[in-house]
Chain A
Amino acid sequence: MTIEQELANVTPEKLTVEHVSKWFRTRRATVHALDDVSLTVREGEFVCLVGPSGCGKSTLLNIIAGLESPDAGRVLADGKPVTGPGRERMVMFQESALFPWLDVLDNVMFGLKLKPQLKNQERREVAEFYLKLVGLEKFATANIHELSGGMKQRVALARALAPNPRVLLMDEPFAALDAMTREQLYGDIQQIWAKRRKTIIFVTHNVREAACLGDRVVLFSPNPGRIQEQFTVDLPRPRDINSVELAKHSTEIMRALKRHLRPEISEVAE
């Protein structure tokens, strides 16, 4: 063993994507959604997957979540192959996917009720803790339809955090929100990430958003879905999406993106 190996302080690999390929067969055509994609995510890392629509980034997220299975290759979570969805890797969707027949607190408690080792009182306390974390403790008994879009995504975040997963998979969770609400949520998600030390994979088509949130930005290109380039963003946190340094990073990523896909530029927002 060399001295370098002895002194290295390597964070363990949380997720490993090994040579994953995926095709979608529809009646009209076969779409090559992912082509030999490999990716490693370390424990506690915040990784953003960016690319235009149809580049397979959401598909990869679903495969990591275990909601879809790859046609080739495999995904390892903590060294074990992913075979289906699990509480260790919670997903947050673009639409909040909250259950309208439950109130806010019961929505957050849904995942906790599936944890057999907890008592009901404890479940309630845990749910209240996470509602407080997202700043909605006053809305515990509200109905879902009474919440604004931003509040719904906060509840969805609390629901995803409640079973205490190590990995959070977010599929364009802020895409449908207005700019003001989104900026607030950028702050919140960074804060929660720092407080709870989760591993986060965040899918977006917004380059600036990716640069603002990610330790690392992974650039995808479509037809077939491939990883083109990876960027490390080493700005101090919490980051302001409007800062000049951030703009430099996002411009760099944007340029790379345009290089890789001339025809699809229009679909990507800076």
Chain B
Amino acid sequence: MKRGLVVCGFAVLMIASWEIVCRLKIWSPVLLPNPLAVGEYLAQAIRDGTLWQATLVTTKRLLIGYFLSILFGVPLGLLTARFKFAEDTLGVLALGLQTLPSVCWIPLALLWYGQTEGAMLFVVIMGSLWSILIATDNGVRTVPPIYARAASTMGSKNFHTWIKVILPASLPFIVSGMKQGWGFAWRSLMAAEIYVTILTGFGLGHLLHYGRELNAMDQVIGVMLVIITIGLLADKILFSPWEKFLHRRWGTARN
């Protein structure tokens, strides 16, 4: 309750200082619209449905791409951690591709898939898959070998050991890898949407892009605020419960 008040109070303070800066008329209102103008844009965009529509399109792309990345990234990470051969092939590939900024995938995706949803998904997956894979691999390697030994004396073997011991034991790493992967996916999708017009759906990145084209600073700032809000919400809804659970179980919480 108290922390909620602090967060709200801070937000009010930020908006108030923004308003004050606007009233000082240091910059032209074209470059820095006041909070009210941005609020009006947002209200109008919500009313005519563009904002809602764009958010839906963007989050759909993001969620599909992201969950595909997890679906492949975690098992592949287990694979590279388990088998030397996978480590020397797939592991090295992942390490290499992870260093490639995901914006660099956009030209290739466009040539391969054209201006389609496929291109968007491809960029999102390439952005997050490798970091999830590497985090999983890393997590598995830090699992104390005694866990698997103890499990084996209780009759646990191969697959059972992996699912019931190695995987949960590396969960703290996997969750932080998933969080990082989420960040990468979000970034690559925004880059892709700003960079290319996709005929099948108009996302938040496009709104931002057209805000620039139209010189509509209220739109640019408004959409940026929406993007920030989605990022915050995702963190709270997708990751906070997991992290709280892990901290409680492992005893790594600060208080």
Most chain B CB inside 10 Å of its own CB: which residue of A67, A93, A114, A115: A114
B3 in the interface (beta carbon within 8 A): no
Interface SS majority for chain B: helix
CB within 8 Å of B: which of A86-128? 86-87, 89-91, 93, 95, 97, 99-103, 110-111, 114-115
Contact of A99 among B147, B149, B155 (CB under 8 A): B147
A187 in the interface (beta carbon within 8 A): no
A145 in the interface (beta carbon within 8 A): yes
**B165 x A146 contact (CB < 8 A):** no
Nearest CB of A to B136, in Å: 16
A53 in the interface (beta carbon within 8 A): no
B150 proximity list for chain A (CB < 8 A): 91, 93, 97, 99
Chain B: number of interface residues, binned into ranges: 20 to 34
**A85 x B152 contact (CB < 8 A):** yes
B200 in the interface (beta carbon within 8 A): no
**A145 x B251 contact (CB < 8 A):** yes
**A87 x B152 contact (CB < 8 A):** no
A38 in the interface (beta carbon within 8 A): no
Nearest CB of A to B23, in Å: 53
A143 in the interface (beta carbon within 8 A): yes
**B171 x A101 contact (CB < 8 A):** yes
A163 in the interface (beta carbon within 8 A): yes
**B152 x A67 contact (CB < 8 A):** yes
CA–CA, A100 to B71, complex, Å?
A: 25
User: Are A111 and B154 CB-contacts (below 8 A) given A67-B149, A99-B147, A101-B168?
Assistant: yes
CA–CA, A67 to B169, complex, Å?
A: 20
**B248 x A114 contact (CB < 8 A):** no
**A114 x B168 contact (CB < 8 A):** no
A97 proximity list for chain B (CB < 8 A): 146-147, 149-150
**B168 x A86 contact (CB < 8 A):** no
B2 in the interface (beta carbon within 8 A): no
**A111 x B250 contact (CB < 8 A):** no
User: Are A110 and B154 CB-contacts (below 8 A) given A100-B249, A143-B248, A145-B250?
Assistant: yes
**B146 x A163 contact (CB < 8 A):** no
Most chain A CB inside 10 Å of its own CB: which residue of B152, B155, B156, B169: B155
CA–CA, A76 to B66, complex, Å?
A: 53
**A67 x B249 contact (CB < 8 A):** no
**B250 x A87 contact (CB < 8 A):** no
